[in-house]
Amino acid sequence: MTKTDEHIFEDPYAKIGYKLHLLLHTGQLLMESGADTNRIARDMMRAAAFMGIPEEKIHMHIMYTTLMLNISDDDHSYTSFRKCRHHGINMTVISAISKLSWRAMEQKYSLQMYEAELQRIQSLEHHRHYSFYLSAIAAGLACGGFCKLFNSDWIAFFWTALCASLAFAVRHFCNKMEINPYAGISISAFTATMLAYFTHFFSGSATPWHPLIACTLFIVPGIPLINAIDDLLNNYIVSGSTRAINTLLIVGGMTFGIVLAIRLGNISDWSAKFLRHRSRHDTRNWRLCRCNSRQPARTQSGALVSYAGPCHYNSIGHSHDPRSASLSASIYSS
- DSSP state letters, 287-311: HHHHHHHHS-EE-TTS-EEEE-S--
Could you state, in order of their start, the residue ranges of all structural domains in the chain?
3-126, 132-261, 273-332
> Given pLDDT bands bounded at 50, 70 and 90, which one contains residue 271?
low
User: What's the pLDDT score for residue 242?
Assistant: 95
User: What's the pLDDT score for residue 5?
Assistant: 61
In this predicted structure, the answer to whether residue 74 has a pLDDT above a threshold of 60 is yes
User: What's the pLDDT score for residue 267?
Assistant: 75
Q: Provide the 3-class DSSP secondary structure of residue 312.
A: coil
User: What's the pLDDT score for residue 206?
Assistant: 87
In this predicted structure, the answer to whether residue 317 has a pLDDT above a threshold of 50 is no
> Given pLDDT bands bounded at 50, 70 and 90, which one contains residue 333?
very low
User: Which of the 8 DSSP states describes residue 179?
Assistant: -
Q: What is the pLDDT of residues 177-216, one digit of tens each?
A: 989 999 999 999 999 999 999 988 876 888 888 999 899 9
Q: Which helix (H) or strand (E) holds 317?
A: none
User: Could you write out the three-class secondary structure of 28-92?
Assistant: HHHHHCCCCHHHHHHHHHHHHHHCCCCHHHEEEEECCCEEEEEEECCCCEEEEEEECCCCCCCHH
Q: What is the pLDDT of residues 117-129, one digit of tens each?
A: 999 999 887 777 7
User: What's the pLDDT score for residue 307?
Assistant: 44
User: What's the pLDDT score for residue 125?
Assistant: 72
The mean per-residue pLDDT over the stretch 310-325 comes to 43
In 3-state terms, the chain is what percent helix, strand and coil (to 5)? 60, 10, 30
The mean per-residue pLDDT over the stretch 67-91 comes to 90
Count Cβ atoms below 10 Å from residue 88 Cβ, excluding itself. 12
Query: Smallest Cα–Cα separation from 198: which of 133, 266, 142?
Result: 266
**pTM for the structure as a whole:** 0.75
The mean pLDDT of the chain is 82
Of the given ranges (198-212, 247-261, 300-314), which has the lowest mean pLDDT?
Answer: 300-314
